[in-house]
């Protein structure tokens, strides 16, 4: 429910409304605009007649129900686009944030070579998996804590903030010690204990779309994180399961303009996992930028043929540089620019 206060409302009027909400077990989120205060109301049970009572208050201008099942993530709740701050720049708005790096952190040399290369080509965030969610239990599971330490060392070297996946609620505090952005992978989009746990942190969360999740289910997952108090959610479309076998997943480009209508959260696109094949990564990335995405996340490896995971979809450093060059005219056309991380900007 959204309560819009009149322009003439005083602080005491606002406190009165908030007090009444608390009395019936509801919580209030205030957003003070230049002209008037808007109170968002969250709770599981709205007592009968509450709306009428609120509407009868002199200082209240209007009371509207949020019709969507997700509340905090909806445009009804917040109409202006959310920009998520990461290390001195924002994901969203006029920025186009490119996150790039290997699927898995494999060694210091592999990570540092990739980090330096993608930075030189214009990436703003370094990606790399330390805890890997592999389909086969016999496949490489990631370097774990050692991988996190290497990511932190690469951040020191390059000034790029780091995004990495967290698989389990019990590992959130460990990963949050090292990461600038916590990634929730596609297989965990509806791992509710994990969503609640990252919702208790103050780190930005990169929430990938579930393999077979509808947009509404995805936004409900974002709502879990936000309901815990963490509003710094970045959505990531990474392709969904369809009958098509020519590609690893089907990239749902229409999800981007749909999300722009339904939610204020920024949305980036992972064309690597959508494509599964190197030659598709660039055309899909250009399309994602053209259709209104707020950024990309791309897998890059110095020698993809020797990669311990996702080599066939990983770009070489040269491929990635070519992609970034081709992106420029599209970014100019859509009025976006590549942000520079804080450390680098001041260097």
Binding site for ligand PEP (CB under 6 A): 103, 129, 133, 185-186, 208, 238, 270, 273
What does 248 bind: ligand PEP, Mn ion, none (CB cut-off 5 to 8 Å by kind)?
none
Helix, strand or coil for residue 105? coil
What does 301 bind: ligand PEP, Mn ion, none (CB cut-off 5 to 8 Å by kind)?
none
CB of 259 to Mn ion, least distance (A): 22
CB of 166 to ligand PEP, least distance (A): 11
- # residues near Mn ion by CB under 5 A: 2
Between 121 and 186, whose beta carbon lies closer to ligand PEP? 186
**Interacting residue with Mn ion among 236, 310, 315, 320 (CB under 5 A):** 310
Q: Which stretches of the chain are DSSP H helices?
A: 11-23, 50-55, 108-120, 145-158, 172-178, 192-199, 215-227, 255-262, 271-275, 278-290, 317-334, 342-346
CB of 208 to ligand PEP, least distance (A): 5
What does 106 bind: Mn ion, ligand PEP, none (CB cut-off 5 to 8 Å by kind)?
none
Structural contact between residues 259 and 235, judged by C-beta atoms closer than 8 angstroms: yes
Neighbours of 173 (CB within 10 A): 12
Nearest residue to 279 via CA among 247, 249, 244, 251:
247
Between 29 and 208, whose beta carbon lies closer to ligand PEP? 208
CB of 237 to ligand PEP, least distance (A): 10
Between 3 and 118, whose beta carbon lies closer to ligand PEP? 118
Neighbours of 329 (CB within 10 A): 11
Across 58-93, b (16+ Cβ under 10 Å) vs e yields ebbeebeebebebbbbbbbbbeeebbbebbebbbbb
- What's the token pair of residue 47? 């007592």
Q: What is the C-alpha to C-alpha distance for residues 12 and 314, in angstroms, rounded to an integer?
A: 58
What does 33 bind: Mn ion, ligand PEP, none (CB cut-off 5 to 8 Å by kind)?
none
What does 208 bind: Mn ion, ligand PEP, none (CB cut-off 5 to 8 Å by kind)?
ligand PEP
CB of 44 to ligand PEP, least distance (A): 30
> How long a stretch of residues is the chain?
347
Between 129 and 199, whose beta carbon lies closer to Mn ion? 129
Binding mask 101-130 for Mn ion (x = CB under 5 A): --x---------------------------
Q: Is 307 in the site for Mn ion (CB under 5 A)?
A: no
- What's the token pair of residue 6? 């009149």
In sequence order, the 6+-apart residues with CB closer than 8 A to the CB of 105 are: 111, 128, 129, 130, 142, 143, 147, 150, 151
Structural contact between residues 116 and 155, judged by C-beta atoms closer than 8 angstroms: no
Between 38 and 184, whose beta carbon lies closer to ligand PEP? 184
Between 103 and 207, whose beta carbon lies closer to Mn ion? 103
CB of 296 to Mn ion, least distance (A): 14
CB of 323 to ligand PEP, least distance (A): 17
Question: Which DSSP helix (H) or strand (E) runs through 100?
Answer: strand 97-101
Nearest residue to 221 via CA among 324, 70, 19, 52:
70
Residue whose C-beta lies closest to Mn ion: 103
Residues forming contacts to Mn ion in the complex (CB under 5 A) are 103, 310
């Amino acid at each position: 429910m959204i309560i819009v206060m009149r322009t003439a409302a005083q602080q005491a009027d606002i406190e009165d409304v908030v007090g009444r909400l608390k009395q019936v077990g509801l919580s209030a989120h205030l957003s003070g605009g230049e002209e008037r205060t808007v109170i968002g109301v969250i709770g599981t049970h709205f007592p009968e007649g509450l709306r009428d009572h609120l509407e009868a208050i002199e200082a209240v201008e209007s009371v509207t129900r949020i019709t969507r099942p997700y509340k905090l993530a909806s445009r009804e709740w917040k109409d202006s686009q959310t920009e998520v701050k990461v290390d001195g720049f924002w994901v969203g708005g006029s920025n186009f944030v490119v996150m790039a790096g290997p699927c898995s952190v494999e060694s210091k040399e592999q990570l540092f070579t990739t980090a330096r290369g993608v930075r030189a080509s214009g990436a703003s965030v370094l990606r790399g998996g330390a805890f890997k969610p592999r389909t086969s239990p016999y496949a490489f599971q990631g370097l774990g804590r050692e991988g996190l330490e290497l990511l932190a060392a690469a951040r020191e070297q390059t000034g790029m903030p780091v995004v990495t996946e967290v698989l389990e609620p019990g590992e959130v505090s460990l990963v949050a010690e090292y990461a600038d952005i916590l990634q929730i992978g596609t297989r965990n989009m509806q791992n509710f204990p994990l969503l609640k746990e990252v919702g208790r942190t103050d780190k930005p969360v990169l929430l990938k779309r579930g393999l077979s999740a509808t947009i509404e289910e995805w936004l409900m997952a974002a709502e879990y994180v936000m309901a815990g108090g963490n509003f710094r959610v970045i959505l990531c479309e990474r392709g969904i399961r369809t009958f098509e076998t020519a590609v690893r997943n089907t990239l749902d480009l229409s999800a981007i303009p749909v999300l722009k209508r339904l939610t204020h959260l920024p949305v980036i696109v992972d064309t690597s996992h959508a494509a599964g094949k190197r030659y598709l990564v660039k055309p899909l990335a250009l399309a994602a930028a053209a259709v209104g995405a707020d950024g990309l996340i791309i897998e890059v490896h110095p020698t993809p043929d020797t990669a311990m995971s996702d080599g066939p979809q990983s770009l070489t450093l040269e491929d990635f540089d070519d992609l970034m060059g081709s992106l420029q005219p599209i970014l100019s056309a859509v009025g976006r620019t590549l942000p520079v991380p804080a450390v680098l900007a001041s260097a």
